[in-house]
Structure 1
Amino acid sequence: MEGGSRADGRNPNHLRPFSCTGNPLHRAHGSARWAQGGTIVLAAVYGPKPGTRKGENPEKASIEVVWKPKTGQIGRQEREYETTLKRTLQSICLLTVHPNTTTSVVLQVVGDDGSVSFHMM
């Protein structure tokens, strides 16, 4: 890398181009398309649907998160992403408004040039 620029020509202090589009998926109750450079993730929300998941408190809403990688099987890293996102959503959603329901959030990685990964604390 000459002059401190990256392989794609960006300077170290420049981000990949970013875009976000709401509701690109028509069958979902809500959806978004997030892109940064060649990384593209589609997110879809379904629900709330009646009933909670096994082991969940029926006096609160249940949140299910499914992370689908671009290729291959779901592994340990994807399960950690699901857990982190579920905990984050549980901390910001009002789970008592729709008790005994489940809302599903599905994330599909369409492209990944390095922007998908995040570090867990």
Structure 2
Amino acid sequence: MSRRIADPRQLGFARTMRRNMTEAEFRLWLRLRARAVEGLKFRRQVPIGPFIVDFFCAERRLVVEIDGSQHFAEAAIAADARRTAWLEARGFRVLRLTNPDVMNNVEAVYRAIADAAEQPPSEPSP
């Protein structure tokens, strides 16, 4: 995957988001960091195109999004669908989970991520 220079404002916002993770993001990060999932490296709050994704494994082109309650409004659902379609069209796999998923059963979330990481990377659409 080629690396593009991201918009400096986007990079600054991603840094701010890394410093101000939600409780669910922090709890999941404790399970993903230090190559704890199948030896794969996950990064958090990563700019990809016009978006900043919550967690990203470049080796498997796997994006993990943790959705809070604001994602359940009708407009947010539509925006998330467009975002997922954009990422998938470029060969990324997107796994969407919710804050309650993480807060109530982080082990099941970890297993779902590990299962998704076992799949080979997707290919971009032509």
TM-score (norm 2): 0.31
Q: State the structure with more CA Rg.
A: 1
Bigger share in strand: 1
Structure 1 or 2: more helix by fraction: 2
Task: With the length of structure 1 as denominator, give the TM-score of the two structures.
Answer: 0.32
Higher relative contact order (CA 8 A, sep 6+): 1
